[in-house]
């Protein structure tokens, strides 16, 4: 019943959104300022027939997933080091705070002096996602340590036993929630970096070209393709988590 109600609410949301969008397009009667939903769908069909469509989508997807997985792995390793080696904890916390304080556009401008455009995109995704993954994993490790500190005091174990036998099994929810929420952030960061770094190919590059040509419907069409990608990969991660852990739906509350 709850699942059916959720589906009904989703359908109502999209119906209201599309209705308001259509009404605004009809009232403005200006396809440059506000293209109608059917104009955007028409542009999506045109884009789908482009010979380089799958290359554009594939490159952006590869960049987003590469940055996500690298950030995820680095976040786990760094959080474990900071948790079990207190001397590194303050240094890592300061570094992560600094990374979060610096605007992403600053990374892009500076990195363009030092490396190629494709590397810039990957590094920007990492700089955005790594602090989130690190903080999520470190906070969870600290909570587990505080919860079981009496048991660990009575039955002391080497750090690798504590990590593999106690911490990792208890961290399944944060693994899942970080991966699912990080997936959408990775795609958004990839497209933003493609636009600002003037990548040779990608969804961001195509959106920038459409903006220069004042093709608002094309920009919105690429935005819809991006939303579809985010939706598909969230579903993929959920199915993968459900297959590995058998309880993917329980992790929604941790997002």
Which CATH number does the domain housing residue 119 bear? Answer: 1.10.3720.10
Same domain, 16 and 125: no
**Structural domain span for residue 23:** 1-30
| pLDDT, tens digit (0-9, with 9 covering 90-100), for 181-202 | 888 899 998 998 898 888 888 9
Task: Tell whether 163 and 215 lie within a shared domain.
Answer: yes
Residues 172 and 229 in one domain: yes
- One domain for residues 169 and 181: yes
Average pLDDT rounded to a whole number, residues 10-30: 85
Same domain, 127 and 162: yes
Instruction: Tell me: do 72 and 172 sit in the same domain.
Output: yes
pLDDT at 222: 93
Same domain, 124 and 226: yes
Same domain, 98 and 26: no
Work out the average pLDDT over 26-46: 86
Which own/partner contact pairs does 39-45 have at CB distance under 8 Å and 24+ positions apart? 39/217, 40/217, 40/220, 40/221, 40/224, 41/221, 42/217, 43/215, 43/217, 43/218, 43/220, 43/221, 44/221, 44/224, 44/225
Please tell me whether residues 243 and 202 are part of one structural domain: yes
Q: Read off the pLDDT of residues 45-98 as tens digits, 9 standing for 90 and up.
A: 999 999 999 999 999 999 999 999 999 999 988 988 888 888 888 889 999 998
pLDDT at 142: 83
Flag whether the pTM goes above 0.75: yes
What tokens appear for 180 in the block? Answer: 């699912």
pLDDT at 22: 87
61 and 95 fall within a common domain: yes
Give how many domains the chain has, as a whole number. 2
**127-160 confidence digits (pLDDT tens):** 999 999 999 988 888 887 776 666 666 656 665 6
pLDDT for the residue numbered 221: 93
Do 13 and 50 share a structural domain? no
pLDDT average, residue stretch 224-236: 91
Higher-scoring residue by pLDDT: 241, 133: 133
**3: Cα separation from own chain's centroid:** 25
103 lies in the same domain as 1: no
Please determine, for residue 1, whether its predicted confidence score (pLDDT) is greater than 60: no
């Amino acid at each position: 019943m709850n699942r059916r109600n959720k589906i009904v609410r989703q359908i109502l949301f999209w119906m209201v959104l599309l209705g308001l969008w259509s009404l605004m397009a009809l009232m403005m009667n200006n396809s440059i300022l506000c293209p109608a939903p059917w104009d955007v769908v028409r542009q999506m069909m045109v884009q789908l027939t482009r010979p380089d469509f799958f290359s554009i989508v594939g490159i952006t997807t590869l960049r987003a997933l590469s940055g996500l997985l690298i950030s995820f792995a680095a976040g786990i390793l760094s959080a474990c080091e900071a948790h079990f080696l207190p001397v590194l904890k303050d240094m890592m916390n300061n570094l992560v705070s600094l990374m979060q304080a610096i605007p992403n556009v600053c990374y892009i401008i500076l990195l363009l002096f030092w490396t190629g455009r494709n590397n810039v995109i990957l590094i920007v995704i990492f700089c955005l996602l790594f602090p989130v993954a690190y903080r999520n994993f470190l906070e969870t490790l600290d909570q587990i340590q505080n919860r079981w500190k009496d048991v660990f005091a009575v039955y002391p174990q080497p750090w690798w036993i504590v990590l593999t036998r106690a911490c990792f099994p208890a961290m399944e929810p944060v693994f899942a929630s970080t991966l699912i929420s990080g997936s959408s952030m990775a795609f958004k960061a990839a497209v933003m970096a493609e636009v600002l770094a003037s990548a040779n190919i990608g969804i961001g590059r195509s959106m920038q070209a459409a903006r220069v040509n004042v093709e608002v419907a094309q920009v919105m069409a690429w935005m819809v393709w991006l939303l579809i990608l985010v939706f598909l990969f969230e579903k993929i991660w959920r199915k993968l988590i459900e297959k590995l852990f058998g309880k993917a739906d329980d992790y929604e509350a941790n997002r």
